[in-house]
């Protein structure tokens, strides 16, 4: 069941216990101070080139390992891609198209791997902040909205507004966002949803561009935290 808060003030961005424990396990494996947070040393280790094999096996506990579901079994598949990646919506490099999502049964949630993504002002790829930085959480919140059935909003303050400036952060749900999702899931509300343009699956920023190295999967744990804190 999806339960939505009555106010965006409930959002804290804090990782839950399971995610903190997972990050600590990763930090312990690589002899990093076990903070349970995506600090600079952890991110630096995570983005290093590495062997494709896993560090630890898929299991629910150390005493009773068992296979987990595969990526292809998931209802929603989250990934970072660069350029054409086979879903009919190729990314275009830094800025421009930032991400897109397709609600189930397709259930795809893709970020452009060529963006200068940042979390709370901290760049995830580069050593210092740049004018082309895009806030990962802000884009993730909007794409989660698409996965739940929301289209783009005409309200510039809404998290479902189609564009976002670089260096900006927008993660707090506004009245339009809450009214829209409550309408879809039949909440007890009489608030009407304003007219919104159809969801074309792509969110955009029009501005300058800079060539940066592509990246892939290090930040999926961030998206999991967002889903837990905002929509579950």
Which active-site residues does the annotation give?
143
How many C-beta neighbours within 10 Å does residue 211 have? 7
Distances (CA, A) of 217 to 53, 69, 79, 113: 14, 18, 6, 9
Question: Residue 173 to residues 52, 57, 133, 142, 182: CA-CA distances in angstroms?
Answer: 38, 37, 22, 10, 12
The closest alpha carbon to 174, from 190, 198, 153, 204, belongs to: 153
Q: CA 187 → CA 43, 191, 230, distances in Å?
A: 39, 10, 17
């Amino acid at each position: 069941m999806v339960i939505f808060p009555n106010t965006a003030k409930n959002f804290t961005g804090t990782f839950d216990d399971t995610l903190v424990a997972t990050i600590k396990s990763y930090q312990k494996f690589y002899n990093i101070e076990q903070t349970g947070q995506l600090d600079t040393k952890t991110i630096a280790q995570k983005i290093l080139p590495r062997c494709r094999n896993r560090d630890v096996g898929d299991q629910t506990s150390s005493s009773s390992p068992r296979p987990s579901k595969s990526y292809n079994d998931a209802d929603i598949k989250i990934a970072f891609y660069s350029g054409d990646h086979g879903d009919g919506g190729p990314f275009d490099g830094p800025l421009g198209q930032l991400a897109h999502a397709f609600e189930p049964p397709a259930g795809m949630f893709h970020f452009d791997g060529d963006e200068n993504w940042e979390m709370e002002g901290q760049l995830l790829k580069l050593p210092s902040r740049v004018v082309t930085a895009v806030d990962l959480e802000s884009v993730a919140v909007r794409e989660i909205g698409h996965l739940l059935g929301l289209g783009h909003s005409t309200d510039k303050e809404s998290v479902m507004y189609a564009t976002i400036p670089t260096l900006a952060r927008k993660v707090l749900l506004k009245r339009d966002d809450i009214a829209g999702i409550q309408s879809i899931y039949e909440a007890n509300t009489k608030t009407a949803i304003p007219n919104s343009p159809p969801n074309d699956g792509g969110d955009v920023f029009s501005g300058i561009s800079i060539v940066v190295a592509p990246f892939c999967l290090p930040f999926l744990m961030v998206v999991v935290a967002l889903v837990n804190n905002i929509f579950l």
